[in-house]
Chains A and B, each alone.
Chain A
C-alpha cells in the first residue's frame, strides 16, 4: 500500500535529514535563550501572566507564564508544580494550596528544547521521603526525535542533579511522551513512546505501523534504573500514556495502540519491575480508522474492585465518537458501563481522579466561542454520573485540565491565559 511504503521511506529519508542538518539552529537558540531570566515569587493568587508581565517585564519566570504545568502533592500535602519556560524546567512549591508559590527553582542548568504542550509536559512526583522526581521529553530535531530525561532533588527541591537520558539505545530517534509513576511501595516507573523498532524495521525496508512503548524502573527513587523494556509494538506516535497502580509493585498503563495497521484504539497492560509485561489487551473498541495524529491520550485510575480501572478516552471512531468513560475489567478483558461523556467535536482531554469513594472526571468543552472546563462525578464506581457542571468558562487559550488526588482530596490543576495557573480543590463541598 502506498501509505505504509511512503512512511517507511520517509523514516529513512528523515535519518538522512537529521545527519545532513545536524547543526540545526536549535543550538544557537539554546545558547541565546539561556541568559537573562528574572526569577520571581508570586504572592497573589490566580494572577494572569499578562498582569505579571506588565509588572515585571516579559521575561518574568512564573508558574502563571510557564508552559504546560503539572502538579503533585507531597506527603505533607504541599503542592509542587513543574513547568517549562525559556528552555528550562522550573519547580515551584506552594504551602497554602496554590495561594502563594516559592520562587521557581531552575531544574536543568543547561538549556534544552524541553517539549511542552497538552500531551507533553514535565512530570513531577515527590516521594514520601522527600525526593523530588522529574521527567520530561527533550526534542533533538524537528523530525520527531527526542530523549527521555530524568532528574531529581535529594535536598528538598533546592538543587537538582544533572538530568540523565533514560532511553538506553543511543539512537537519534523518537523517544517522547514520557509518563512517570511511583507506587506506594516505592517503585518508580518511567514509560514513553519509542521509535527504535520503527527505525530498525525501516532499515530492513519493512513496514512498521506507529511506534513502540518502552519503560524503565527504579527501586531506589531514581538513583539507578533498569535497562529499557519493551511493552508493545505498534503504538500510536503522539498521545500521552496513562498509568495506575496494579498490586503492590506493578503498574497498569493505557495508551493509544494501532490495530490492523490503521485503527487507533487503546491497549492496556500490566508492567512489572523486572520487565515482565502481562495482561496486554485491547481496552477500547472504537474502530477509529485513521492514519493521523490524534494528539489525544487517555486517562486511568484504579477502581475500588481489584483488577478494575476507570478509563476515559477520546475517539472519533465508527463505534465511539467523542469523550468516553468505561470501567475496564482485567479479568474479562472488556470495558463496562461505557458512556459518552461529551460528543461535541471541540470537546476533549478528559482526566480522571478518585477520592473518598467519589470518581471525578474533568474535560474541556468548546461551544464555538469559549472553552468550558467541565466536571462530572460518580459515587457508584462509574455506574451513574452527576450532570456536567461548568467550573470555568474562558474565551481565551487554555491547557488540558489535570487532576491531582491525595489523601487530602481531589484538586484541579489547570493553566489558562485568562486565569493563570489554578489549583483548586474539587472535593470540598462535593462530599
Chain B
C-alpha cells in the first residue's frame, strides 16, 4: 500500500462522498490515511484547532464525545478535528455512537489503514496510543497534548476561546 494509493483513496473519497449517500447511514466520515494529518494542518494554516482522538471501544471517550457534541451545538464553527482510530470499515458502529452525541453530521475521520502505528505516528510520534487523546494547536501550530477525558474545563484551559478568534 503505497502513498499513491492513499492519495488516490483520499481524492476518491473527497470526490465521491456525495455519490455514496445511498449508504444506509448518513454521515460525514472521511478516510484518515498517512498523509491526512499533514493535509489537515495545511488547511488550518495560521489557525488554531483542537484534535480529539477516540475509538468505539473506549468508554472514557464517550464522556468526551458528549462534551464535544454540546460544544459543536453551541458553536458549530469550533475548529475540531474528530478522529476515530477504528477502521473505517467499521463506520456503521462509529456512526451509531456519533449519533448519540449528535456528532454524526460534522466532518470527522476514521483510520483507513490497518497499519495503525504509522497513522498514530503521523499525528504525533510521542503518542502511545492511549485514548481519549487530544491536541491543542495554536495559530502557529505549536501544540499541547492531553491523555484522558477532555472536560470543558480542561479544554478552556488548554484552548482558551479567544484563541479561536471568536
Contact = CB atoms under 8 A, between A and B. Distances in A.
Contacts of B57: 117, 144, 238, 293, 295
A325 to B, nearest CB: 17
Contact of A2 (B116, B133, B153): B153
A7 B63 contact: yes
A396 B115 contact: yes
B92 interface: yes
A353 to B, nearest CB: 23
B125 A345 contact: yes
A296 B125 CA distance: 18
A294 B57 CA distance: 11
Nearest to B151: A2
B125 A294 contact: no
A237 interface: yes
Given A144-B57, A293-B60, A316-B128, A3 B149 contact: yes
Interface in B77-135: 92-93, 96-97, 100, 113-118, 120-121, 125-133
Interface string A351-380: 000000000000010101101000000000
Given A10-B66, A292-B132, A142 B58 contact: no
Contact of A395 (B100, B115, B147, B153): B115
Contact of A348 (B24, B63, B129): B129
Contact-residue bracket for chain A: 35 or more
Contacts of A24: 96
B59 A144 contact: yes
A142 B147 contact: no
A10 B63 contact: yes
B148 to A, nearest CB: 4
Given A6-B149, A292-B132, A368-B125, 17 more contacts: A3-B149, A7-B60, A142-B96, A238-B58, A290-B130, A290-B147, A293-B55, A294-B128, A295-B129, A295-B131, A296-B128, A316-B130, A345-B128, A348-B129, A368-B118, A368-B121, A371-B115
